[in-house]
Structure 1
């Protein structure tokens, strides 16, 4: 038998903060896609769309938009979490195993934030929540 403690104080705001975490993470993540696809923010390198980096940019942009809106959040977060795990082991870890030395700390952080969103859901401020209420 499980008992739930009443949520009071800051804990009462946890569902909304989950939405804030999702929205802010998606906005920043989406910028990686806009940089690869549209050279915004400005960058010296813009990979071809048919390349691995170009496809990654497409997934970052579309997945970021969907996560920002909270649309199909759990499956999108699962895919993005896996993408970040692959990105770390494929592009960062071969150079050096330590994330602070190989530039992969953001990939690891995104991987686990998205994994958390996959498990916890999008929070109340999402299209998924609106569709669930109808």
Structure 2
């Protein structure tokens, strides 16, 4: 069973990346355009509008699997900033201050920084890319 799980790991990681990217994109769309039941952030307003731009652009890049590590790193940092600057002012724990989404996005995106895009990524369609370029062991130097 473990052998089978190891074989499908890159595909599950790819699906995980796509779902996280799409969810992050939805937050950006909602905040920038006032969609999905949210009021839009005023253009140029700090930090909300800039966070929404990072969510939209970063979410699309993560979902597509191109520039995954960089986009995930920026998204993770923006969510850490959101948690400590906005949510933690209200209370210490995420369950008390409404910061669960920020914490979850921060840590899931940070995970993608270290694992890479997995399979099913647009980066694999680019000329000169090899499948080994996207395997975690290629970047981390350790077998998985």
Tell me if 1:48 matches 2:42. Answer: yes
Tell me what 2:141 maps to. none
Task: Compute the TM-score of the two structures, normalised by the length of structure 2.
Answer: 0.83
Mapped partners of 1:110, 1:75: distance in 2? 15
Using the alignment, how far apart are the partners of 2:72 and 2:13 within structure 1? Answer: 13
Aligned length: 127
Q: CA deviation at 1:38?
A: 1.4
Structure 1: stretches of 5+ with no match in the other structure: 1-6
- Of the three residues 24, 30, 34, the one matched with 1:35 is 30
2:124 paired residue number: 129
Q: Which residue does the alignment assign to 1:110?
A: 105
- CA distance in 1 between partners of 2:124 and 2:94 (Å): 35
Cα drift, residue 50 of structure 1: 0.6
Report the Cα offset of residue 10 of structure 1.
2.3
Supply the RMSD in Å over aligned alpha carbons.
1.5
CA contact (8 A) 2:75 2:106 kept: yes
Give runs of ≥4 in structure 1 deviating > 4 Å: none
- Alignment partners' CA distance in 2, 1:59 and 1:69: 15
The CA distance in 1 between the partners of 2:9 and 2:24, in whole Å, is: 22
Q: Would you say the 8 A contact 1:87–1:107 is kept in 2?
A: yes
Q: Does 1:17 find its partner at 2:5?
A: no
Structure 2 counterpart SS, 1:97: coil
The TM-score, its normalising length taken from structure 1, stands at 0.88
Deviations 1:43-88 (A, max 9, x none): 2x21212102111111111111111111111111111111111110
